[in-house]
C-alpha cells in the first residue's frame, strides 16, 4: 500500500483497496492523522458554501483534478456536464447530497473510488499500532466479477487457524447473501465484539464451505527471524515479513543486523501471504537490501512523476532469495519487483496477487471523506503489476496433500516445500558462485533450477 501524507492528502496502495477486518488494510494501514479540509476553487455562479452542495462540489473537483482512470469510464467533457447537473438540483440535507455523491462516483465504475460518510471516515483513520479486533482477513473486490475475494488471512488469527485461504470467495456472511455487496457493506456485517461469532460462506474452487469464526483481538508482529542450518553445513537467515506496518522497517533492520552478527551466509525473505502495508515501510525495507537502483515509480494521470531509489545504505550484500505466492500483494509486490528487476535476488514460489493501484484518502469539509484512485505503481523495469502480478524466477508450490498437520510454525522448515526449493537455490548461489559473479549469474541460475 502506498501511504504518504501531507497537509491535504493521505495516499496508499491498497490490495485492490482491500480491507482487513476490521480497520486493517494491507495497503490501507491508515495513521491517526488529523488532516484539514481541502480548499478548492468554487464556481461563483453557484451558491454552495455552507450547504450540502459544498461537499458534493468538493468531491467533483477532487475527481476532476486527480482521478486516474484505469478502466476507460471517465471523460473530462462528461464530468464537466455532470457538475452542472448535480449542482443545479436542490439538496435539503447532507443525506441527499451523499446519495448524489454515491451516484456520481458509481458512474466511474471504480469500486475503489468511493464515498465515506463521517462515521465511516472516522473509523478508517485508525492507528497502525499492530493491534486490531476482528477475524484477521484481508478483503478485496474483484473488478470484473464484483465478488468479495480474500487476499490472505493474517497469520495466527481466527481466519488463519480456521483454514481460510487466499482467493476464497465470500458468498454469504451469516445469513446475508453478498451478491452486489461492497467492501464496506461486508465489513459492517463481519465486524463485531470480541468473542462473538460470524459465519462466512466460502467458495473455494468447486467447493462450498461454511466457516464459523470467533472474533478476537489480534496482535501482529511484523517480522519473525531465525538462523537456519542447511544440509551441507551452511547458515541461512530466514526472515518472514507478515505485513508492512509502521514498525516493520525497524523490526526488519533489527533482524538483519542480528543475523549478520550470527554470520548468516545468505538470506531467504518470506513474503508469502503478506497483503501489503505502508509504502514508506516497503521503501525503507527495500533500501535495507538494495544499495543502488530504482525501487518503484508512480504513474499518475499526468504521467510518471515519482521515482523512489535505493540510497546506498544496504545492511547486507549477501545472496538473497524471496518467497512469494498469490497472497503476496501490493507493498509485497513493490519489494519483490525491486529485488527481481535490480537482480539483487531471485523469486521463488507462485505468481503474486497483482495489485498496483494507488488510492488517496481525502477529507471533506463536513467530516466525511472519499478514497480516490490517483495513480498506479510500476516496477523498476516499468512493469505494470496491476491485475498481472509478478512471476517468480522459480515456480514452486506448497504441497500440503500429504501433510495435514502443517501449520504456521512449519513455515521456513524442511516441512515447507517452497522453502526447500528456496534453500536449494540459495545454497547453490552461496557455494557455487563467488560474490563478484552473484549479480550476473542469478538470472541464469533461476533457469537452471527450473
Catalytic annotation, pick one of 11, 330, 427, 446: 330
Catalytic annotation, pick one of 318, 355, 416, 446: 355
- Could you tell me the three cell numbers for 334? 513493490
**Residue 397 in contact with residue 417, Cβ under 8 Å?**
yes
Active site residue 355: yes
**Residue 333 in contact with residue 444, Cβ under 8 Å?**
no
The helix/strand/coil state of 261 is helix
Active site residue 156: no
Catalytic annotation, pick one of 168, 284, 341, 366: 341
Which ranges constitute the DSSP H helices of 290-410? 331-341
Q: At residue 201, what are phi and psi to the nearest 5 degrees?
A: -90, 120
**Residue 153 in contact with residue 163, Cβ under 8 Å?**
no
H or E stretch at 94: helix 94-106
- Could you tell me the three cell numbers for 271? 513474503
Active site residue 330: yes
| Helices and strands (H, E) in the chain, number of each type | 11, 22
In the DSSP assignment, the letter for residue 279 is: H
Cα separation, 230 vs 221, whole angstroms: 26
**Residue 449 in contact with residue 428, Cβ under 8 Å?**
yes
Cα separation, 147 vs 202, whole angstroms: 11
- Which residues are catalytic, by number? 330, 341, 355
Amino acid at each position: 500500500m502506498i501511504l504518504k501524507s501531507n497537509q491535504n492528502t493521505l495516499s496508499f496502495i491498497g490490495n485492490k483497496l482491500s480491507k482487513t477486518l476490521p480497520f486493517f488494510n494491507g495497503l490501507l494501514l491508515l495513521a491517526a492523522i488529523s488532516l484539514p479540509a481541502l480548499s478548492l476553487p468554487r464556481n461563483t455562479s453557484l451558491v454552495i458554501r455552507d450547504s450540502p452542495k459544498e461537499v458534493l462540489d468538493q468531491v467533483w473537483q477532487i475527481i476532476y483534478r486527480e482521478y486516474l482512470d484505469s478502466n476507460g469510464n471517465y471523460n473530462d467533457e462528461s464530468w464537466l456536464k455532470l457538475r452542472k447537473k448535480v449542482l443545479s438540483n436542490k439538496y435539503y440535507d447532507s443525506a441527499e447530497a451523499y446519495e448524489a455523491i454515491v451516484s456520481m462516483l458509481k458512474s466511474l465504475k471504480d469500486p475503489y473510488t468511493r464515498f465515506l460518510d463521517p462515521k465511516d471516515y472516522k473509523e478508517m483513520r485508525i492507528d497502525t499500532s499492530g493491534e486490531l479486533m476482528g477475524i484477521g482477513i484481508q478483503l478485496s473486490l474483484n473488478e470484473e466479477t464484483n465478488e468479495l475475494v480474500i487476499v490472505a488471512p493474517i497469520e495466527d488469527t481466527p481466519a488463519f487457524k480456521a483454514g481460510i485461504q487466499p482467493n476464497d470467495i465470500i458468498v454469504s456472511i451469516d445469513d446475508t447473501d453478498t451478491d452486489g455487496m461492497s467492501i464496506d457493506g461486508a465489513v459492517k456485517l463481519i465486524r463485531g465484539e470480541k468473542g462473538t461469532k460470524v459465519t462466512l460462506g466460502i467458495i473455494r474452487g468447486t467447493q462450498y464451505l461454511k466457516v464459523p469464526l470467533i472474533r478476537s483481538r489480534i496482535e501482529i508482529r511484523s517480522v519473525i527471524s531465525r538462523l537456519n542450518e542447511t544440509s551441507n553445513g551452511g547458515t541461512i537467515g530466514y526472515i518472514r515479513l507478515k505485513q508492512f506496518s509502521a514498525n516493520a522497517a525497524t523490526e526488519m533492520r533489527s533482524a538483519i543486523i542480528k543475523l549478520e552478527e550470527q554470520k548468516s551466509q545468505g538470506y531467504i525473505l518470506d513474503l508469502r501471504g503478506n497483503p501489503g502495508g505502508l509504502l514508506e515501510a516497503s521503501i525503507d525495507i527495500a533500501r535495507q537490501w538494495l544499495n543502488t537502483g530504482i525501487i518503484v515509480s508512480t504513474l499518475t494521470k499526468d504521467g510518471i512523476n515519482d521515482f523512489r531509489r535505493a540510497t546506498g545504505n544496504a545492511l547486507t550484500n549477501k545472496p538473497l532469495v524471496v518467497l512469494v505466492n498469490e497472497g503476496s500483494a501490493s507493498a509485497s509486490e513493490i519489494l519483490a519487483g525491486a529485488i527481481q528487476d535490480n537482480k539483487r535476488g531471485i523469486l521463488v514460489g507462485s505468481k503474486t496477487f497483482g495489485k498496483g493501484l494507488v488510492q488517496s484518502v481525502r477529507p471533506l469539509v463536513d467530516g466525511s471523506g472519499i478514497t480516490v484512485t490517483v495513480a498506479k505503481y510500476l516496477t523498476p523495469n516499468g512493469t505494470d503489476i496491476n491485475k498481472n502480478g509478478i512471476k517468480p524466477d522459480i515456480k514452486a508450490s506448497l504441497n500440503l496433500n500429504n501433510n495435514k498437520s502443517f501449520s504456521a510454525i512449519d513455515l521456513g522448515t524442511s516441512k515447507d516445500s517452497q522453502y526447500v526449493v528456496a534453500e536449494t537455490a540459495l545454497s547453490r548461489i552461496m557455494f557455487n558462485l563467488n560474490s563478484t559473479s552473484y549479480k550476473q549469474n542469478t538470472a541464469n541460475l533461476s533457469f537452471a533450477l527450473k
